[in-house]
Chain A
Amino acid sequence: MSDPTDNGRDDTGRFVKRAAESVHKLNTPSEEGIHPLSQILFGWTHTKGIGNIIFWVLLALSAIMLSIDFFFPRQDYLKFANYAGFYGIWGFVCFSFAVIMGWPLGHLLRRDENYYGDASGPPYGVDPDAPMADEATAPHHSSEGDA
């Protein structure tokens, strides 16, 4: 430790350098702006027919989840929660209800973006390089920054 050999240092140096290079490569977006890491982590989402696969996998998973209930009865405080499949079905129903209600509520409550007459551009603190959102170019209420 107190006396590293040349060889060892070289090895370490090369290893560190290689590691740094690969980290750098992993974090340098390609020319189209695609981050390499995203290919590794989320590349699978670009697979053809992924929608179908996810749908069927979830369908199967749901069926399994519900069927387990028939083999393991529960002892909850609330009696109705003990019926087989209660949690799953309640979750499904609630989720669907909340989403479906989005249609009428959207018609009822959605108004033009400048309904209150005070719409304006992106807030202070946004990256100066940010791509301009298409029409959010209303006069930016700016003042000389304090900083």
Chain B
Amino acid sequence: MPTMLASLNPGWVLIIAGIASLFIRVRVVRQVVTIAAPLMALLLLVFATQNTDLATADMMGLKLVLYKVDSLNFIFSLAFLIAAVLNGIYALHSDDRIQDGAALFYAGAAVAATLAGDLMTLFVFWELTAISSVFLILRAQTREAYFAAMRYLGVQVLSGVLLLAGIAYVLKSRGNLSLEAFTDLSDPGVLFIFIAFGIKAAFPLLHNWLQDAYPKATVVGSVVLSVYTTKLAVYALARMFPGQEHLIWIGATMTVFPVFFAVIENDLRRVLSYSINNQVGFMVCGVGVGTPLALNGVAAHAFADIFFKGLLMMSMGAVLYRTGTVKASQLGGLHRSMPWTTVFCIIGAMSISAFPLFSAFVTKSMIISEVATAGYAVIFLMLMFASAGVLEHSGIKIPYYAFFGHDSGIRVKEAPFNMLLAMGIAAGLSIFLGLPALVPGFGHEWLYNLLPYREEAMGYSHHHLFSFSHILTQFQLLVLAIFAFVLLKRIHAYPPEKRGVILDSDWTYRKLGYGLVVWAGTVWGKAGPAMSAAFFRVTGRAYNWIEAAFSPRGELARGGVLNGAMAIWTAALLGIVLLLSFMAVS
């Protein structure tokens, strides 16, 4: 391969294509670009030499590694690029330059961040993902989407500046920007970076930007969003904080708490946002365990998740596109008019629920098995709870309330062909990844071969993955949980879907914070003048004295044109400086 191409970061191809498609007015040309660019980037990535600095730059004496492929970031960027192709196909029915451009740019920035070889480059593209992705939300052009986008941007930029502050600190203490793993969280710089990653990975209490913004994006937008930001954060955590024990508990909490919210949530895209949270929790937990097999599990689960979560988002997007809503309380019975979408959604639901022969079964089990091996009993129980929970909200609730259940009477056309095609490919991948290796390298072994610790993965695959007891226990969990659903439905113990918004921790700033600001404004409006009056009384004497000293201006101050407060400030400041100078010397 020519050297110029060899050092061309696949992410940049997408970024350039993204910028270009903002200006391409001819729809067909733009459609070709949105699909050809990720394909070309895929080729570049697959043929890239691994473990060498493929592109470097110098900035102010710091060596920046712009492009470096190794076994960990290869699999993440591969998934990102394949997802970019699928997203391109999924968006073909729409004719929107901004959406196409932002989606490509966002994907490219995520890939470039993944392939970055130093912290500063990571930071730059980290910020670019934040800025480009906000357009996918803004593009929905509703009032709530606008406000959500602004909140989203604020949180994402906050993550960026925290990362930058951390990097500056680490650069001072460590002297380089290398992507060496951190071990000590007590260093403030490292803690900044940890929190920055945590915001993007949507750690508990830092999570609500996700549920706030994703469901309000455009049809295509939420599909694209569901792929990149959180998985990029998972990659960054796996790169910089493997084996960080706090992550185990954080991850386990992340898997559990969204389950409760998802049960009562009415907006099905928001349910899926909670589901993202839940699945990322498994990955974070795996990063925390940090053994080779656990990290394999993280990479593999991220890979699989990108497709089955994308598939579920696509199916809900198709429903939204055709019916204009994804509220569970308004939907139902859509399998009558959208059977293809129903089938794909069920495949996605079975994949995310980790049915044997579907993708999550071969990926999530690596993480859970390592947690059990390491002896974390409570964590293990939490993860099993979350597995049952995932079955509840993504496996059953999504397809049941959208496509079955009570017939809403909505009759629409089947989803557009391009959507079906994208869903079909994603569904095919989700099944393919879960298949046993009928011939070596087929099915899940194809994925296992790409994992960072290939040997361990293969050992797991041969001895445990499709063992009788593994399949049996998984079926026990799932079948009994489904039975619980049927039973609860039968005795009417299942809470009905009701309209309404569910409060989450974003309440603190959307209601409480906003209220506080309003309240403070009112208080300030009353207290401000009172305080000024007090201040003026106290300083009155000094003021008189100064006025006497500078009488012409004192006269003018009473003339009313001059801003009297400022003259006082000037005098007060002079007094302070004088006092300080005298005190400091004597």
Interface size, B (range): 35 or more
Instruction: Tell whether, in the assembled complex, residue A91 and residue B503 are in contact, meaning their CB atoms are under 8 Å apart.
Output: no
Interface stretch (choices B168-176, B177-185, B385-393): B385-393
Say yes or no for B320: interface residue by CB 8 A criterion: yes
Instruction: Tell whether, in the assembled complex, residue B139 and residue A124 are in contact, meaning their CB atoms are under 8 Å apart.
Output: yes
Residue interface bits A30-48, CB-to-B below 8 A is 1, else 0: 0011110110011001000
Residue B372 contacts which of A61, A76, A96, A102 (CB distance < 8 angstroms)?
Answer: A76
Say yes or no for B546: interface residue by CB 8 A criterion: no
Say yes or no for A146: interface residue by CB 8 A criterion: yes
Per the bound structure, the CA–CA distance linking A33 and B511 in Å amounts to: 43
Say yes or no for B301: interface residue by CB 8 A criterion: no
Give every chain B residue within 8 A of A94 (Cβ-Cβ).
384-385, 388-389, 481
Instruction: Tell whether, in the assembled complex, residue B323 and residue A130 are in contact, meaning their CB atoms are under 8 Å apart.
Output: yes
Say yes or no for A113: interface residue by CB 8 A criterion: yes
Q: A123-B218, A133-B325, A141-B143 known; A38 and B260 CB under 8 Å?
A: no
Say yes or no for B430: interface residue by CB 8 A criterion: no
Q: A72-B472, A98-B388 known; A124 and B260 CB under 8 Å?
A: no
Give every chain A residue within 8 A of B495 (Cβ-Cβ).
99, 102-103, 106
Instruction: Tell whether, in the assembled complex, residue B263 and residue A98 are in contact, meaning their CB atoms are under 8 Å apart.
Output: yes
Per the bound structure, the CA–CA distance linking A109 and B476 in Å amounts to: 33
Per the bound structure, the CA–CA distance linking A127 and B404 in Å amounts to: 22
Say yes or no for A59: interface residue by CB 8 A criterion: yes
Instruction: Tell whether, in the assembled complex, residue B330 and residue A87 are in contact, meaning their CB atoms are under 8 Å apart.
Output: no
Instruction: Tell whether, in the assembled complex, residue B493 and residue A99 are in contact, meaning their CB atoms are under 8 Å apart.
Output: yes
Q: A106-B495, A118-B143, A118-B147 known; A91 and B476 CB under 8 Å?
A: yes
Give every chain B residue within 8 A of A123 (Cβ-Cβ).
140-142, 145, 216-219, 320
Say yes or no for B132: interface residue by CB 8 A criterion: no
Say yes or no for B161: interface residue by CB 8 A criterion: no
Say yes or no for B462: interface residue by CB 8 A criterion: no
Per the bound structure, the CA–CA distance linking A113 and B164 in Å amounts to: 38
**Chain B interface, DSSP helix/strand/loop, else mixed:** helix
Per the bound structure, the CA–CA distance linking A113 and B504 in Å amounts to: 14
State which residues 96-147 of A face B: CB under 8 Å.
96-103, 105-106, 109-113, 115-116, 118-127, 129-134, 136, 140-143, 145-147
Q: A87-B477, A125-B99, A130-B324 known; A42 and B335 CB under 8 Å?
A: yes
Instruction: Tell whether, in the assembled complex, residue B468 and residue A72 are in contact, meaning their CB atoms are under 8 Å apart.
Output: yes
Interface stretch (choices B356-364, B375-383, B438-446): B375-383
Instruction: Tell whether, in the assembled complex, residue B372 and residue A110 are in contact, meaning their CB atoms are under 8 Å apart.
Output: no
Instruction: Tell whether, in the assembled complex, residue A65 and residue B498 are in contact, meaning their CB atoms are under 8 Å apart.
Output: no
Say yes or no for A27: interface residue by CB 8 A criterion: yes
Give every chain B residue within 8 A of A13 (Cβ-Cβ).
none
Residue of B nearest to A40 (CB): B339
Instruction: Tell whether, in the assembled complex, residue A95 and residue B260 are in contact, meaning their CB atoms are under 8 Å apart.
Output: no
Residue interface bits A46-79, CB-to-B below 8 A is 1, else 0: 0000010011001101100110110010101110
Distance in Å from the Cβ of A64 to the closest Cβ of chain B? 9
**What is the number of residues of chain A that contact chain B, defined by CB distance less than 8 Å?**
79
Say yes or no for B413: interface residue by CB 8 A criterion: yes
Distance in Å from the Cβ of B390 to the closest Cβ of chain A? 10
Give every chain B residue within 8 A of A80 (Cβ-Cβ).
377
Choose among A59, A89, A121 the residue with the greatest number of B CB atoms under 10 Å from its CB.
A121
Instruction: Tell whether, in the assembled complex, residue A35 and residue B339 are in contact, meaning their CB atoms are under 8 Å apart.
Output: yes
Say yes or no for A81: interface residue by CB 8 A criterion: yes
Distance in Å from the Cβ of A26 to the closest Cβ of chain B? 10
Q: A55-B486, A124-B141, A147-B96 known; A65 and B479 CB under 8 Å?
A: yes
Residue B391 contacts which of A95, A118, A125 (CB distance < 8 angstroms)?
Answer: A95
Residue B501 contacts which of A66, A116, A130 (CB distance < 8 angstroms)?
Answer: A116
State which residues 315-345 of B face A: CB under 8 Å.
320-325, 327, 330, 335-340, 342-343
Give every chain B residue within 8 A of A15 (Cβ-Cβ).
none
Per the bound structure, the CA–CA distance linking A35 and B388 in Å amounts to: 33
Q: A95-B481, A100-B493 known; A87 and B473 CB under 8 Å?
A: yes
Per the bound structure, the CA–CA distance linking A141 and B143 in Å amounts to: 6
Choose among A34, A42, A94, A118 the residue with the greatest number of B CB atoms under 10 Å from its CB.
A94
Choose among B220, B260, B404, B410 the residue with the greatest number of A CB atoms under 10 Å from its CB.
B260
Say yes or no for B98: interface residue by CB 8 A criterion: yes
Choose among A34, A55, A97, A130 the residue with the greatest number of B CB atoms under 10 Å from its CB.
A130
State which residues 497-514 of B face A: CB under 8 Å.
498-504, 510-511
Say yes or no for B460: interface residue by CB 8 A criterion: no
Residue of A nearest to B476 (CB): A88
Residue of A nearest to B499 (CB): A113
Per the bound structure, the CA–CA distance linking A101 and B256 in Å amounts to: 13
Per the bound structure, the CA–CA distance linking A123 and B139 in Å amounts to: 8
Instruction: Tell whether, in the assembled complex, residue A125 and residue B218 are in contact, meaning their CB atoms are under 8 Å apart.
Output: yes
Per the bound structure, the CA–CA distance linking A121 and B320 in Å amounts to: 12
A-B contact pairs, 30 of them (CB 8 A): A29-B413, A34-B337, A35-B337, A38-B339, A45-B404, A51-B490, A65-B479, A66-B476, A69-B476, A77-B372, A90-B381, A90-B388, A92-B484, A98-B392, A102-B263, A102-B264, A105-B261, A111-B502, A112-B500, A112-B501, A120-B145, A122-B324, A125-B94, A125-B99, A125-B220, A125-B221, A133-B325, A134-B330, A141-B141, A141-B146
The 5 A-B residue pairs with the shortest CB-CB distance in the complex, in nearest-first order: A33-B411, A123-B140, A130-B324, A91-B477, A88-B476
